[in-house]
Amino acid sequence: MLIDSFLVPPEVEAAYATIIDSILAASDLNTISEKRIRKGLQQAVEYDITPQKVGKVISKLKYRAWLTSMAGGHQGAHYGSLRQV
C-alpha cells in the first residue's frame, strides 16, 4: 500500500479529533466554518497543517457533532473513530 505523505496518519488523526471536538463543543455547529476549525486546530498544535489533508477529518467530525446535537445528544461528546463514518 502506498502512503501519501500528505494524508493524516491514524494516530495524528486521533489527536486532531480531540482538538476538533473541543472546538466544535464551544461553537455554533450551524455557523462554524471548516476554515475556522482548521485555524483553531493549527493554533492548538502550533505548527503548519496546511500540507496535511485535514478537510475530510473536519467534515466528518462536524457532521457527526451536528447529528448528535440534532438527536438531543451532548454537542461536545467525542464521536468515536472517524473510520466508522
Q: How confident is the model at residue 46 (pLDDT cuts 50, 70, 90)?
A: very high
HSE toward the beta carbon, residue 70, CA cutoff 13 A:
8
Where helices occur in the chain by DSSP H, the ranges are: 10-25, 34-45, 55-70
- For residue 30, pLDDT over 90 is answered with no
Taking phi over 0 as left and psi of -120 to 50 as alpha, with beta for the rest, 46 belongs to left
Instruction: Tell me what pLDDT residue 80 has.
Output: 41
Mean pLDDT check: name the lowest of 15-19, 26-30, 49-53. Answer: 49-53
Percentage of the chain modeled with pLDDT above 90: 32
